[in-house]
A and B are shown apart, each in its own frame.
Chain A
Amino acid sequence: MNRILKSRVLKTTALAAAVMSVAGVAQAQERQQLRIVGSSTVYPFASYVVEEFGATTDYQTPVIESTGSGGGLKLFCEGPGIDTPDITNASRRIKISEFKRCQENGVTDITEAKIGYDGIVLAEASEGHEQLNLTRKQIFLALAAKVPQNGKLVDNPYEKWSDIDPSLPDREIEVYGPPTTSGTRDAFEELVMEHASENMKAYGGEGYTDIRQDGAYIDAGENDNLIVQRIQENTTAFGIFGYSFLEENQDILMAASIGGVEPKPEAIGSGKYPVARSLFFYVKNQHADSVPAMYPYANLFLSEKMIGPMGYLKGLGLIPLPEKLREEQREDLANRETLKLSDLK
C-alpha cells in the first residue's frame, strides 16, 4: 500500500474513531450513575453514604451536588425524565406548593424517607466568649426587616445585641446565614421568625419572616463550611447552620442556648431544643427501572450502620430517630410508598 493511501486510511480511521467515541459515549435509556441534589445540611451525610456506596458495591459512585433544599426540590420536580435528579435531600419537609408543582410536572410517585433529626444552631467562635442564652424573640428582633416600635412597624434600627436587651453582649449584630434556596433558612424562618412574631399584634397575628437586608444578615451561600470559616475569623459574628457542623467543630465553636436549652443531641431529639427539625430525602420511584443504583443507595442510607445509634452518621453529627421510626422508613422505602398530599397537611 503506498504512502498516500496508507495515510488516507489512517486519517479516516482516526475520524471514525473520533465519531465512535462521541457516539459510544452517548447515554442509553438506562443511567448507571445516580444523580443526587439537595440540602447542604444533609450533604455531609449523603456524600459519606455516596463514598461508601461507591467503594463497597459495584455500582458507579453517584454524583451529588449541594444546591440547597429548595434548589434541589425545584430540580427534582422539573419532571420525570431521565435527565432529572433521582434523589433530592432536604433539611425540611417538602412544601405543599412544591408537592403540587411536582404533580403538575408529572412527578407523581415519590417516596419520602426521614433519616434523622437536626438542630439549627446560632454559633460563634468559642474563644473569649461565654455561653450565651437567647430567646427566639430576641433573635427575631435582631434579624427581622421590620420591627415594632411604639406600635408601628419600622425598619430594624437595632445595631447591637445590647440594643435589644442590655443583658446581651455589646457587639454589632452580624449573622452569616443560608440563602433562600436553603432548607435551613426555611426551617429557621418557620421555627424562629414565624414563631416569635405570630403573637405580636403589630404583625396582625400572622407570622413575619422577612430578614433584614441592610448588611446585618449576610447571605453566605450554600456552603455551610464557609460560614464556619467566617465566624472563626470574624469572632464577633454569629453563624446559622445545622448541628452537625457544630459537632464537627466542637473545639472551636460554641452555640447559644435558645430558650434556656442548649443544643445537645438529647435535647434536639426529644424536641426540647426549640429549633429542631427533621432531615429527609425524596426518591423518584419513576426512575426505578432506568436507574438501577437508586434503591440500593437508598437502602444503604437507611441501614442501621448508617443512621442507627451506633451508625457512622451519628459520628458526623446526625441525631438518630427512635428505632420504630427507623423501621418505618425502611418499610416505606421497600414498599415504595407514594407520598400523598394528605400526608403533608
Chain B
Amino acid sequence: MFFREIDMSTNIVFLLFCAGLVGLGGVAFVLSRAKATRVRATGTSMYAQPDQYGWFAVLTTAGPALLISALGAFVLLLMGADIPLLYLLAASLVIAAIGLVLGLNQVRPDFHARRAIESVIRKLLAAAAAISILTTLGILISIVGEALRFFQLHSFWDFITGTTWNPGASFLSSAGRGEDGGSAAQFGSVPLFAGTFMITLIAMLVAIPVGLGAAVYMVEFAPARVRQAAKPVLEVLAGIPTVVYGVFAALTVAPLVVDIAGLFGLEASYSNALAPGLVMGIMIIPFISSLSDDVINSVPSSLREGALALGITKGEMVRNVVVPAAAPGIISASLLAVSRALGETMIVVMAAGMRPNLTANPLEDMTTVTVSIVAALTGDQEFGSAQTLSAFALGLVLFIVTLTLNIVSVIMIRRFREKYRVNNL
C-alpha cells in the first residue's frame, strides 16, 4: 500500500518538487505583473489589475501541476500502477512551466483575469461542498458493500428474524480451521435490537419529561436570570463525553440499581439495562430541552395572548395552547433524540451486558446492536469473515433506522415552520 512503498529518498524529491513549484509560481507572478504594469503604463486600459494578472499566472502554473500530481498519486494508490514518483513529479514541473508561458500570454488588455480567478475559486468551493456528498457515498458504499457481502454468506431473513446471535464459530472457518469448530455460527439479530430498544425506551422515559419540563419552564415561567444560568448547565450536560457517562453508569449507577432492587427483593444483574438507560436519558436531556426551547419560543405570541385574553390561567394556556401548537417540533426533537440514543455506543459498551438476551426485564443483562458491532470488530481483524461483516450488516440497519427517524423529524419541523410562518428553525 502507498504508505509502505515510499522510502526516505522520496522526501528529497518532494522537497525539490515543492521548491520547484514555489519558484515557478513566484516567477510567474513577478513576470506577469511586470508585463501588465508595462502595458498599463502605455496608456491602454486593461480589464484587470496587474496584481490579478499575476495571480492568474500563478494559477495556470501551479494549478495543472498540482492536479496532475494529485491524480497520479491517486492512480498510484488505487491502481497500484508503477509510475515512478520521480517521473510523475518531473512531468508536473514541466506542465507547470508550460502553464507559466500560457499564463504570461494571457496578459492582454482584453482578458478578464479577475473573473477567471474568481471562477476557479468558485469551482474550488463547489468541490469542497462535494466532499460532503463523497462522505455520504463513502459511508453508503462501505457499509452497504460489506453488508451485502455478509448477506451472501448468511440469509437476510434469518438475520432479521432470528433470535440467536452467536458469531463465534465463524472465526474458525475463516482461519482455515473449519474442521475444528462444531456448530455453525448464527446471526439472528432480534435480541440485539430488543436490547437497543429497551435501553432507548428507558432513556426516553427519563429525557422527555425532564427535557420538556425544563424547556417549558425556561420559556414560560423562568425569570431572565434563571434562564441565563440554566443554559450553561444544560450545555455542560451536553458536552460531557459519552465515555465519561459510561464510566459513571458502570461504576456508580449500576451498583446503585442493584442495591435499590435488592431493597425491593428483586435481583438485578450488575450489567442491567436500567443503568445505561438512565444515564443515556441524562445525556439526552439537553437535546430535547434545547430543541424544544427553540420550538416553544417560536410559537407566535398572538396565540398566547389570545388565550390569556379569554381568561384562562397560564398553566392552562401552556398545556392546552402552547404545547399542542409546538407538538410537531417537540415530536421532531424527540425523534432526533431517539436516533441519538439508538446510535450511542460508549455508554452501553461500558455498562450493558455482553449476552444477547431477549427479555422484557430491565434488571437483566442484555446487549445491544452497537456493543455487538464493537465486539465483532475488536479481536479478529480480518476482513471477510462473517463475524467482521456482521458488524457492517448491523451498521447498515442502524444507518437506515436513524436516517428514517431524521427524515421524519425534518418533515415534522418543516410542517411546524409552515404552520406558523417561522423562519429561524
A and B in direct contact, judged by CB atoms within 8 A:
yes
| Chain A residues near B (Cβ < 8 Å) | 4-5, 8-9, 12-13, 15-16, 19-20, 23-24, 26-29, 67-68, 70-71, 73-75, 82-83, 95, 97-98, 101, 145, 179-181, 186, 208-211, 213, 215, 218-222, 226, 230, 233-234
B1-34 interface with A by 8 A CB criterion: 1, 3-4, 6-8, 10-11, 14-15, 18-19, 21-22, 25-26, 29-30
Contact check, B381 vs A71: say whether CB atoms are below 8 A apart.
yes
* Chain A residues with CB under 8 A of B354: 218-221, 226
**Given A145-B183, A221-B379, A234-B270: A181 in contact with B171 (beta carbons within 8 A):** yes
B201: interface (CB < 8 Å): no
- How far is it, in angstroms, between the C-alpha of A220 and the C-alpha of B365 when the chains are bound? 13
Contact check, B177 vs A95: say whether CB atoms are below 8 A apart.
yes
**Given A28-B7, A218-B354: A233 in contact with B270 (beta carbons within 8 A):** yes
Q: Within the complex, what minimum Cβ distance (angstroms) separates A20 from chain B?
A: 6
- How far is it, in angstroms, between the C-alpha of A82 and the C-alpha of B4 when the chains are bound? 8
- How far is it, in angstroms, between the C-alpha of A257 and the C-alpha of B237 when the chains are bound? 50
B10 is contacted by which of A9, A23, A71 (Cβ under 8 Å)?
A23
- How far is it, in angstroms, between the C-alpha of A67 and the C-alpha of B171 when the chains are bound? 12
- How far is it, in angstroms, between the C-alpha of A220 and the C-alpha of B356 when the chains are bound? 11
B200: interface (CB < 8 Å): no
- How far is it, in angstroms, between the C-alpha of A20 and the C-alpha of B382 when the chains are bound? 32
Contact check, A16 vs B10: say whether CB atoms are below 8 A apart.
no
* Chain B residues with CB under 8 A of A181: 171, 379-380
Q: Within the complex, what minimum Cβ distance (angstroms) separates A240 from chain B?
A: 14
- How far is it, in angstroms, between the C-alpha of A301 and the C-alpha of B279 when the chains are bound? 44
Total interface residues in chain B, CB < 8 Å: 51
B136: interface (CB < 8 Å): no
Measured CB to CB, the nearest residue on chain A to B7 is A28
Contact check, B14 vs A19: say whether CB atoms are below 8 A apart.
yes
- 14 A-B contact pairs sorted by A residue (CB < 8 Å): A4-B51, A8-B58, A9-B22, A19-B14, A19-B18, A23-B11, A67-B381, A70-B172, A83-B1, A97-B180, A221-B354, A222-B378, A233-B258, A234-B269
Q: Within the complex, what minimum Cβ distance (angstroms) separates B270 from chain A?
A: 3
**Given A67-B381, A219-B354, A221-B375: A98 in contact with B18 (beta carbons within 8 A):** no
- How far is it, in angstroms, between the C-alpha of A191 and the C-alpha of B301 when the chains are bound? 77
- How far is it, in angstroms, between the C-alpha of A186 and the C-alpha of B182 when the chains are bound? 12
B106: interface (CB < 8 Å): no
Contact check, A222 vs B379: say whether CB atoms are below 8 A apart.
yes
* Chain A residues with CB under 8 A of B11: 20, 23-24
| Chain B residues near A (Cβ < 8 Å) | 1, 3-4, 6-8, 10-11, 14-15, 18-19, 21-22, 25-26, 29-30, 51, 54-55, 58, 164, 166, 168-169, 171-172, 174-177, 179-183, 186, 258, 269-271, 354-355, 357, 375, 378-382
Q: Within the complex, what minimum Cβ distance (angstroms) separates A19 from chain B?
A: 6
Contact check, A74 vs B380: say whether CB atoms are below 8 A apart.
yes
- How far is it, in angstroms, between the C-alpha of A211 and the C-alpha of B169 when the chains are bound? 10
Measured CB to CB, the nearest residue on chain A to B18 is A16
**Given A75-B381, A180-B172, A234-B269: A8 in contact with B18 (beta carbons within 8 A):** no
A219 is contacted by which of B7, B10, B168, B186 (Cβ under 8 Å)?
B168
Contact check, A5 vs B29: say whether CB atoms are below 8 A apart.
yes
Measured CB to CB, the nearest residue on chain B to A215 is B355
- How far is it, in angstroms, between the C-alpha of A68 and the C-alpha of B22 when the chains are bound? 51
Contact check, B177 vs A97: say whether CB atoms are below 8 A apart.
yes
Q: Within the complex, what minimum Cβ distance (angstroms) separates A89 from chain B?
A: 14
- How far is it, in angstroms, between the C-alpha of A211 and the C-alpha of B375 when the chains are bound? 19
* Chain A residues with CB under 8 A of B179: 97
Measured CB to CB, the nearest residue on chain A to B179 is A97
Contact check, A218 vs B355: say whether CB atoms are below 8 A apart.
yes
Contact check, A5 vs B380: say whether CB atoms are below 8 A apart.
no
